[in-house]
Amino acid sequence: MMTETNEAGIFKQVPSPFCGVGTDDLTIKVEDTAIRVIENGCAVNTPAFEQPLGDLKPRVVGKKVELKDAVDKAAEILRSASLPLFGGLATDVNGMRAALSLADKTGAIIDNMNFGAALRNFLVVHDSGWVNTTLAEVKNRADLLLVVGCDLESLFPRFFERYIWTADSMFLDDTGKRQVIYLGKIPSGFASKSPSGKAAKVLACPDADLPQVVAVLRALVKGAPLNITEVGGISITELQRLASQLKKAAYGVVTWAVSALDFPQAELTVQTLCEMIKELNRSTRCSGLPLGGKEGDQTSFQVSGWQTGYPSRVDFSAGFPEYDPYLNSVESRLADGSGDALLWISTFNVEKTPPKTPVRKIVVGRSGMQFDREPEVFIPVGTPGIDHCGHAYRTDNVVAVRLRKLRESALPSCSEVLSAIEQTL
């Protein structure tokens, strides 16, 4: 589907599978197989789109082979493994469908490369749920944005431009009047500064104090008495003010990025935030906005969710899906030696190579991927949204974007390769 193009190979309104926030206003110029983002690029999307094509040919133990030979070899590795591990899982909807089908057939364990972080949200959903919102609601309704524990602009460079300091908003007269408050990490740049120059309020604390800072904030929102004057270097007066602002806001939004909450048991901090949001909704409206969606992770969780009931770390070796968010990680199964083959799927980012491991490796990866140690099988595949059509989820999970094909690279899709392996078994 090559729409919105003209003679010069210009594509407009191109959606990105890379940034997670569903950017779909990119203008892209394609010359032969070279891609250039010429409008609305950012630090995340531009290099991801412009990554040059690498090898087109698969390799087996470093030697270029035909696709069929690579597929045969991959099938042989999976067939002979006692417990195959499918890692990475950075692909589009169809790629994930094929991966799950193959995992079901080979009795494998699947684990998305970002699930360790995403788990911090999923454990909250499994346990108590949440009250959340999506990007368009933020854009049109949010009068207060509380950013917890992340430097939003380094993760999502265009977030403020696209959703906060927008020219238009259906329900706010002046988007510049939105209150932006950071709790925890300090913003690295000035994206959070309003167009009129109002800087975001920052209540900074080290990550290690964030669990307690958030707990104190929840206690204050509840009106519980506390006999302390500060926590994590933030005065209780400041947190009390924040609690009042949240209660007064007509449509407060609390956002966090689990990838930035990179400390053990961070789900408890997320849960405390989410319970606080629920409590705020007794009198006003307030919603969470978990940000993530890199490397197709939401896509992988969604597809796995509807096909197995679980987002990731599913073990098919019993003949039915078994979920264990701890034992079924690729990392732990490589560490304890129980996983004896690794199928690594990474179609978006050439940097996301498989972990170091002595087990037999098959890599279905974006063309151009480089390895410290050559895997036994490497099958370069196209990137969804560049080399073939597909679907990817954006961070707020309900919105799937239609990815377009921008060039003819002759690379197979991940889904085609995995289906071929399954056929060969």
Partner 1 sequence: MSILTFTLRKRPDQRVDMSPLVHNKLAGMPVEEIRTLTLRLGKRRVEVDELFDVHGDPGDRFIIRNSSNKLDYIGREQESGAITVEGDAGAYLGMRMKGGKITVIGSAGIFAACEMQDGDLEIKGNAGDFLGGALPGNKQGMKGGTVLVKGNVGQRAGDHMRRGIILVEGSAGDYCGSRMTAGTIAVMGDTGRYLGYAMKRGTLLLWKQPNVPPTFNDCGSHTLTFLSLFFASMRNSDSKFSDPVAVFNRVRRYGGDMSSSGRGEILVKIG
Partner 2 sequence: MLIKLTGGTVYDPKHEINGEVRDLYIRDGRVIEQPSDSKIDQEYDLSGKVVMAGAIDMHTHIGGGKVNIARMLLPEDHRADPACRSELLRSGCGNAAPSTLTTGYRYAEMGYTAGFEPAMLPINARQAHMEMGDIPILDKGGYVMLGSDDFLLRMMAAKKDQQAINDYVAWTIHSAQAIGVKVVNPGGINAFKFNQRTLDLDEKCAHYGVSPRDILVCLATAVKTLGVNHPLHVHGCNLGVPGNKDTTLNTIRAMDGLPLHLTHIQFHSYGTEGDFKFSSGAAEIAEAVNRNRNISIDVGQIMFKQTVTASGDNMRQFANHHHANPKKWVCMDIECDAGCGVVPFKYRDKNFVNALQWAIGLEIFLLVDDPWRIFLTTDHPNGAPFTSYPHLIRLLMDKSFRRDMLATIHSDAARASTLASIEREYSLYEIAVMTRAGAARILGLSDRGHLGAGAAADITVYTERDDKQKMFEKPDYVFKDGELVVRNGEIVKVTWGTTHVIRPEFDPGIEKSLADYFDRYMTMKLGNFKIHDDEIREDGRGNLTVHPCRIGGPA
Residues that bind partner 1 (CB under 8 A): 82-83, 106-108, 122-123, 126-127, 208, 211-212, 215-216, 218-219, 222, 224-228, 231, 264-265, 268, 271-272, 275-276, 316-318, 323, 325-327, 336-338, 340
Q: In whole angstroms, what separates CA 375 from the centre of its chain? A: 25
Complex with partner 2: residue 169 or 179, whichever CB lies closer:
169
The interface partner of residue 167, options being partner 2, partner 1, none and the CB cut-off 5 to 8 Å by kind, is partner 2
Closest distance of CB 84 from partner 2, Å: 15
**Residue 190 — φ and ψ, nearest 5°?**
-120, 15
Which residues make Cβ contacts (< 8 Å) with residue 150, sequence separation at least 6? 184, 185, 255, 256, 257, 259, 260, 261, 291
**Residue 203 — φ and ψ, nearest 5°?**
-110, 95
The helix/strand/coil state of 130 is coil
- 246 closest CA partner among 142, 124, 159: 142
Closest distance of CB 205 from partner 1, Å: 12
Which alpha helices (H) appear in 190-265, and where do they start and end?
210-222, 236-248
DSSP 163: I
Helix (H) / strand (E) element for 46: namely: helix 45-50
Q: Which of residues 186-225 bind partner 2 (CB under 8 A)?
A: none
Report the amino acid identity of residue 261: L
The interface partner of residue 168, options being partner 1, partner 2, none and the CB cut-off 5 to 8 Å by kind, is partner 2
Q: Which of residues 147-166 bind partner 2 (CB under 8 A)?
A: 162-163
Closest distance of CB 315 from partner 1, Å: 9
Complex with partner 2: residue 137 or 295, whichever CB lies closer:
137
The interface partner of residue 97, options being partner 2, partner 1, none and the CB cut-off 5 to 8 Å by kind, is partner 2
Complex with partner 2: residue 65 or 276, whichever CB lies closer:
276
- Whole-angstrom distance, CA of residue 111 vs CA of residue 326: 11
Q: Which of residues 277-296 bind partner 2 (CB under 8 A)?
A: 281, 284-285, 287
Neighbours of 29 (CB within 10 A): 16
DSSP 388: B
Complex with partner 2: residue 215 or 399, whichever CB lies closer:
399
Q: Which of residues 225-264 bind partner 2 (CB under 8 A)?
A: 250-251
Quick note: the x/- pattern for partner 2 over 109-138, rule CB under 8 A, is -------------x--xxxxxxxxxxxxx-
280 sits in the region (left: phi over 0; alpha: psi -120 to 50; else beta) called alpha
DSSP 200: P
Quick note: the x/- pattern for partner 2 over 88-107, rule CB under 8 A, is -----xx--x---x--xx--
Closest distance of CB 150 from partner 1, Å: 20
HSE-up of residue 386 (Cα within 13 Å, Cβ side): 35
Tokens standing for 229? 């004057």
Complex with partner 1: residue 8 or 326, whichever CB lies closer:
326
Q: Specify whether the CB–CB gap between 203 and 234 falls below 8 A.
A: yes
The interface partner of residue 250, options being partner 1, partner 2, none and the CB cut-off 5 to 8 Å by kind, is partner 2
DSSP 294: G
Binding site for partner 2 (CB under 8 A): 1, 3-4, 13, 15, 22, 24-25, 93-94, 97, 101, 104-105, 122, 125-137, 139-141, 162-163, 167-171, 250-251, 281, 284-285, 287, 302-303, 305-311, 316, 318-323, 389, 391, 393, 397-402
